């Protein structure tokens, strides 16, 4: 059985499509989930969103035990969450950190992501289109890993 890719979304991302559309666009999180599932094809996806830090940590723990890769948009937790950082440090596979907006073009408070320190790669500023790109890259990495394992 193929291990799933975990797609984890942090606080306020449940409000996509309505929240500051000039920054985050009009695509909803449900539409992003569909984009991820389309990009993954038959590869299993575990798609989650929470406004609660501890739930995200728990999902990273599940990914440590059962996942092939992690795509995480930690949102505001990127800049403050030591617990999310520590959980991600334990994950043995590839991790993509994703931000819908280009965090480096925004206010200074958004420039230093803790998650970037442990991410294999970072996508920022590509809007919702970054999600399927990340899924395809993760699937390629997972295929390479299991081919050589």
- Active site residues per annotation: 24, 99
Whole-angstrom distance, CA of residue 91 vs CA of residue 94: 8
Show the DSSP H helices in the chain as ranges. Answer: 21-24, 29-40, 53-66, 82-89, 130-148
Rounded-to-integer distance, Cα 124 and Cα 97, Å: 8
Contact status, residue 135 vs residue 69, Cβ threshold 8 Å:
no
């Amino acid at each position: 059985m193929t291990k799933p890719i975990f797609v984890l979304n942090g606080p306020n991302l449940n409000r996509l499509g309505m929240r500051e559309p000039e920054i985050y666009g009009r695509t909803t999180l449900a539409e992003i989930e569909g984009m991820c599932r389309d990009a993954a094809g038959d590869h299993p996806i575990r798609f989650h969103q929470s406004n609660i830090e501890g739930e995200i940590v728990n999902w990273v723990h599940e990914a440590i035990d059962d996942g092939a890769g992690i795509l995480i948009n930690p949102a505001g937790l990127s800049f403050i969450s030591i617990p999310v950082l520590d959980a991600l440090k334990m994950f043995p596979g590839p991790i993509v950190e994703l931000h819908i907006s280009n965090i480096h073009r925004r206010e200074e408070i958004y420039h230093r992501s803790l998650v970037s320190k442990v991410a294999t790669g970072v996508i920022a500023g590509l809007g919702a289109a970054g999600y399927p790109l990340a899924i395809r890259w993760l699937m390629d990495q997972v295929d390479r890993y299991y081919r050589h394992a």
